[in-house]
Amino acid sequence: LPQGWKHSPTICHGLIQTALEQGEAPDHLQYIDDIIVWGNTAGVFEKGKKIVQILLKAGFAIKQSKVKGRAQEIQFLGIKWQDGHHRIPKDVINKITAMSPPTSKKETQAFLDVVGFWRMHIPNYSLTVNPLYQVTQKMNNFKWGPEQRQVFEQIKEETVHTVALGPVWAGQDVKNVLYTAARENGPTWGLWQKTLGETRCRPLGF
């Protein structure tokens, strides 16, 4: 497909998805540009090899150096996963907490870009950072007041105390729980999961 054509990613993703479905790819497969297969038994390695064969049979070229073997910790789409959990890396937390209060719209947007990538780890993120978004709007003059200072420090503090998300499981014994609440500035949500034998739900995202 032509490089730079705006529909190329969508078409490519669709072709790969179709190939995986027609090849009867195994369960517990996540595909977002890269492919990760996970599980809690050694059989997951065989699933990975099957997926490679499905794609090769469908005519796709695979760079062997990109094919990784079994691991308890991997990096997927810039996020480190360990035993099915993912959390904000320590170096990212240190970077966020070391950031000084913004003095311009550009610096405010830079802060939002960094923390926004990890928004699923921060409950009520969109509502909390709304005062910061307001100062980045083109029609607004940059004004860093008490409300913005409070939100800036609050987000940094919540980043330090975030919890790991996952792992995500599927099956009849899995119970997904979605909590929602209506607030003055908009709705909030939290997705949790619980499997048979677990006494507490695990957070999957906020």
Question: What are the tens digits of pLDDT across the range 18-39?
Answer: 888 888 877 666 666 778 877 7
Tell me, what's the pLDDT at 140?
Answer: 93
pLDDT band at 3 (very low <50, low <70, confident <90, very high): low
Tell me, what's the pLDDT at 187?
Answer: 86
Cα–chain-centroid distance for residue 159? 15
What are 163-192's pLDDT values in tens digits? 999 888 878 899 999 999 887 778 889 999
Q: What contacts 168, CB < 8 A, 6 or more positions away?
A: 84, 193, 204
Give the integer Cα–Cα distance in Å for 145 and 106: 16
Lowest mean pLDDT among 1-5, 54-58, 86-90: 1-5
Tell me, what's the pLDDT at 96?
Answer: 96
Total-model pTM:
0.74
Instruction: Tell whether the model's pLDDT for residue 203 goes beyond 80.
Output: yes
Tell me, what's the pLDDT at 12?
Answer: 80
Instruction: Tell whether the model's pLDDT for residue 110 goes beyond 60.
Output: yes
Cα–chain-centroid distance for residue 192? 15
Average pLDDT, the chain: 87
Pair 166, 121: CB distance under 8 Å = no
Give the integer Cα–Cα distance in Å for 141 and 12: 42
Give the integer Cα–Cα distance in Å for 48 and 18: 17
Average pLDDT over residues 123-151: 95
Tell me, what's the pLDDT at 11?
Answer: 78
Strand bridging mode 186-195 / 174-183 = antiparallel
Pair 9, 17: CB distance under 8 Å = no
What whole-number percentage of the chain has pLDDT above 90? 51
Tell me, what's the pLDDT at 4?
Answer: 57
Instruction: Tell whether the model's pLDDT for residue 202 goes beyond 60.
Output: yes
3 by DSSP, 3-state: which?
Answer: coil
Give the integer Cα–Cα distance in Å for 93 and 90: 5
